[in-house]
Amino acid sequence: MFGGGVLKGLTVTLKEMIRPKVTTRYPDEPYTFPNRFRGIQKLYPEKCIVCNQCAMVCPTQCITIRGKPHPDPAKKGKVLEAFEIHFDTCILCDLCTEVCPTEAIVMTNRFELAEYTRDALQKDMTWLTENPAEAREVNLPWRKT
């Protein structure tokens, strides 16, 4: 039969036209993400012990971390001096949050990072600390559910 492929295509199209829509009107209706969604990181600098594990495990080497000796000579360890993530190369793989022993860096549900230049995607410690997004429940073991 000539045109059988066209008829088959039209039947698929007509079936899809009467099905209920599954899309959301994104800016108007907020979308709820699954609990394992990997969004932008949030930093808790008071928890960071400057172990450099997050920078070492990063596959794209987009994390830069610097520490200085603790100002109180009676205390051991370092204090976080600078923490930067270059989101132009970050693949949001969640490895930096998985390896952190004190959970100073956690993933959030925020995903909007549109900028006009690549330089604007280099976020520092203050931006990561002030990230208003809610941290994922999976990354908050101190919160009892």
pLDDT at residue 47 in the model: 92
Q: For residue 118, what are its two tokens?
A: 């690549």
pLDDT of residue 3: 76
Q: Is the separation of the CB atoms in 43 and 129 below 8 Å?
A: yes
Q: How confident is the model at residue 51, as a pLDDT?
A: 93
Average the pLDDT over 27-32 and give the result.
82
Domains and CATH numbers, the chain: 32-130 (3.30.70.3270)
**Closest to 48 measured CA to CA, from 107, 1, 106, 9:** 106
**Pairwise pLDDT comparison (87 vs 111), residue with the higher score:** 87
Q: Residue 37's pLDDT is what? A: 83
Phi, psi of 69, rounded to the nearest 5 degrees: -60, 150
Give 140's pLDDT tier (boundaries 50, 70, 90): low
Q: What is the mean pLDDT of residues 12-22?
A: 89
